[in-house]
Structure 1
């Protein structure tokens, strides 16, 4: 028995895969003479390998293809497994049931236990499936072999999928890089196109203003000369001269006050939305001039608020303050002003560094964008700053972006995705509070609310036009 065991052990070493340490499954033999399971070799080489070498002796193979199954070795493997099974049976035969002193010849599938013949006839196993040990072992070996073969196939397929994923990832990386390049190029073209248009518009505005100045100078000269005419001559030309004077003066507002430029920037609002914050109004800032809603999300002008003589910088000006204050980072919020013909938006900071910077008055404690309506025109003005432009119509929603570290404050036309005005290098030294002025209301009109937009609220042209 010992000699047979040694012989079988030697035979098993010849039919065992050195990778998985199990019997060969679909054995293949490579150029150096060593054999492996087909799935094991495929996994070892991998679909990404640049050099194909033997997993055992490391000899490099010139051919990276997996060889065909070695049928002779497969038959030898089956023979070795059968001999091993018989030897195992003879060994198992030496085991006996402790209760009945008989050999284990049966196997209970339900309880997964070995039984002698007497145990198999016991009532507790009457409804169980009982098979001879050899038959049960053979059945389980076949099932395990099948699962092992499936695992090998799945492993090979998954290796191929991994290679495809890596290739797709590389392709996707290239495609996205190329798409970003196209987007950058598009934005550069849009920037160049708009700056060129802005230059033309500025030139046209300057020419229009120069022509208006020339018209005023010519008219003043004519009026001066007319004043020196004889009475009858003066009376003959007076009606025509007065009419022309009224026409020239009527053109002044259009010639002198520039129109706010709109430059839609693709992706602008989406970028700003990354810094969106949820603001609420401070109920303590409510006065007889400004009332605040119960949900702290809107403010309305009180009945007593009229445009007085107070300067916008005055801390007691009718503002509603946000409950939140900021002393770092970047924040962005949007305000719905659809129902307001006049309004004020901005920030308040109690202290500033004594520093003069571009577009910044070092004594200012508020930085504002104000909408004023005069007759049929709307005008946007900043304090401090030089913006005083007229608009084609009212704005439905204003975006405000604050970057504390750089001292930047920007105002945006959300619907048109364009910049209105930006303050630079504000020397903050203390927390900044957003402020809201829902007025002053126009005489004889019912004031509407100024509403803080929810963080997940977005505005697009189609939504606004459908309202």
Structure 2
């Protein structure tokens, strides 16, 4: 039996030391008597074996004298002897990495193994171990230096992160203060304009009141004059007629407009964060619309049903093409020169821009998907599922059920930004050049929305490429 195996057989499973006064249990397992005492029940009854859990009583324990003698003999055995042959360990087996005796070398187990004298093997492996120890020590120093550097880097990173958070807070505090100041400034301008307009309205009201009072007085004088006697009527009637003739309603009615525009600093940059690429679904387009540049350019051109030769030649030389032909199962606009975008919105925030290439009217916004059947421009409103504004460089107005006077923008309106906040139920329109707010529709969207475009006769528009955002 190998020395290691023998040592395991002579070791108590509880204390993991050589047996001291070993005893055998009924199940055949051996333990030190003192180790088993710790497992006895207080009443001296049966207790389980620590290995197999079979119950035994203290009275059934039997001393194992043979195991005690073998343990004592092994404990007194001189070191450096073969556990199998009790011969000095003079050789080292390179294959098994163990010291062996001369008898082991001749055994079949080690017959083909490489052997070396113990002293030589000791010196060789001692040098290798010492060299390895030095190498490991150097690696440990390097690792500890790296650990110190890593701790230093972590500390510096925490400081940098803390400073960056403080910098963010400080800069955004400045920004909040700046926006608060700008808000107050615009509100002051608006209040000043309101006061000036109120003063002007009061003056106009007073003037109209004076004109009305004067007219009522003249009417009363004329009535009394005409109902008087002959002599009373002929008492200087020319003076009354002259004053009545000279009493004019000298008043020009002025439509009141709000001149202070809602221009929020950095709004354009914020909107760009939500910018999406819009593409046109040409299979939904009216036949009058033609497209180029992969659908980013569109125009309300010559109807496809009239003058086909001229239309074909014009399309060839200009690069425009008619809308894609489709099957009857796909709906398209039959009555109005409209087209939908391919994008479908059911949540989130989205922003895109549309540019008007001439001075003609176009309409842009969002709509529900089932509005292809409208046949009159007056139907384009939120009532049918269209939220859009109609605009040209000289004016704009939201498309609603009730007529609204067009607003004249300053400067000219060439590019409009459309911002959809689906969750908030808002669709807002801005001057994409200076960020001035134009109009906002508010409602609860409960269906899929798509970009919407309408072009008046010969009007054209372009959807600029995305320069940032999503």
Give the TM-score taking structure 2 as reference length: 0.53
Residue of structure 2 equivalent to 1:450 = 461
Work out which of the residue numbers 178, 182, 185 in structure 1 matches 2:177.
Answer: 185
Helix, strand or coil at the partner of 2:366: strand
Work out which of the residue numbers 329, 337, 342 in structure 2 matches 1:323.
Answer: 342
Aligned-residue offset at 1:407? 2.5
**Alpha-carbon spacing, 1:103–1:390, altered in 2? closer, same or farther (3 Å):** same
Contact 2:363 2:455 survives alignment (8 Å) = yes
Residue of structure 1 equivalent to 2:63 = none
Consecutive unaligned residues of structure 1, counting only runs of 5 or more, are 1-90, 107-113, 117-130, 306-313, 353-359, 442-446, 459-467
| Separation of aligned partners in 1, 2:334 and 2:201 | 37
Residue of structure 1 equivalent to 2:365 = 346
Contact 1:402 1:408 survives alignment (8 Å) = yes
Write out per-residue CA displacement over residues 433-458 of structure 1, whole angstroms, 9 at most, x where no aligned residue: 321123355xxxxx5x3122333358
Structure 2 residue 213 is the aligned partner of structure 1 residue 202: no
Work out which of the residue numbers 392, 395, 408 in structure 2 matches 1:379.
Answer: 395
Helix, strand or coil at the partner of 2:294: coil
| Separation of aligned partners in 2, 1:93 and 1:396 | 101
Contact 1:96 1:104 survives alignment (8 Å) = no
Write out per-residue CA displacement over residues 28-70 of structure 1, whole angstroms, 9 at most, x where no aligned residue: xxxxxxxxxxxxxxxxxxxxxxxxxxxxxxxxxxxxxxxxxxx
Contact 2:273 2:468 survives alignment (8 Å) = no
Contact 1:93 1:104 survives alignment (8 Å) = yes
Residue of structure 2 equivalent to 1:414 = 432
Aligned-residue offset at 1:330? 3.0
Between 1:291-300 and 1:360-369, the stretch displaced more is 360-369
- Across the aligned residues of Structure 1 and Structure 2, the Cα RMSD in angstroms comes to 4.5
Structure 2 residue 299 is the aligned partner of structure 1 residue 300: yes
Contact 1:205 1:258 survives alignment (8 Å) = no
Consecutive unaligned residues of structure 2, counting only runs of 5 or more, are 1-87, 95-111, 223-236, 305-332, 372-379
Helix, strand or coil at the partner of 2:188: helix
| Separation of aligned partners in 2, 1:265 and 1:289 | 39
What does 1:15-164 align with in structure 2 at a 5 Å threshold? 94-96=91-93, 101-103=115-117, 132-164=124-156
**Alpha-carbon spacing, 1:260–1:283, altered in 2? closer, same or farther (3 Å):** farther
What does 1:362-401 align with in structure 2 at a 5 Å threshold? 363-372=383-392, 378-384=394-400, 386=404, 388-401=406-419
Helix, strand or coil at the partner of 1:433: strand
**Alpha-carbon spacing, 1:406–1:96, altered in 2? closer, same or farther (3 Å):** closer
Aligned-residue offset at 1:327? 3.6
Aligned-residue offset at 1:148? 1.0
Aligned-residue offset at 1:400? 0.9
Bigger CA radius of gyration: 2
| Separation of aligned partners in 2, 1:92 and 1:186 | 89
**Alpha-carbon spacing, 1:303–1:206, altered in 2? closer, same or farther (3 Å):** farther
Aligned-residue offset at 1:350? 6.8
Write out per-residue CA displacement over residues 127-167 of structure 1, whole angstroms, 9 at most, x where no aligned residue: xxxx9544443333212111112222222232233233223
Residue of structure 1 equivalent to 2:352 = 333
Write out per-residue CA displacement over residues 289-311 of structure 1, whole angstroms, 9 at most, x where no aligned residue: 43233612222122579xxxxxx
Contact 1:340 1:450 survives alignment (8 Å) = no
**Alpha-carbon spacing, 1:201–1:304, altered in 2? closer, same or farther (3 Å):** farther
| Separation of aligned partners in 2, 1:201 and 1:340 | 31
Helix, strand or coil at the partner of 1:189: helix
**Alpha-carbon spacing, 1:365–1:145, altered in 2? closer, same or farther (3 Å):** closer
| Separation of aligned partners in 2, 1:210 and 1:338 | 43
Aligned residues: 306
**Alpha-carbon spacing, 1:99–1:337, altered in 2? closer, same or farther (3 Å):** same
| Separation of aligned partners in 2, 1:210 and 1:341 | 39
Structure 2 residue 443 is the aligned partner of structure 1 residue 430: no
Residue of structure 2 equivalent to 1:265 = 264
What does 1:168-317 align with in structure 2 at a 5 Å threshold? 168-208=160-200, 255-256=254-255, 258=257, 261-293=260-292, 295-303=294-302, 316-317=335-336
Aligned-residue offset at 1:209? 5.8
Aligned-residue offset at 1:416? 1.2
Helix, strand or coil at the partner of 2:286: coil
Give the TM-score taking structure 1 as reference length: 0.53
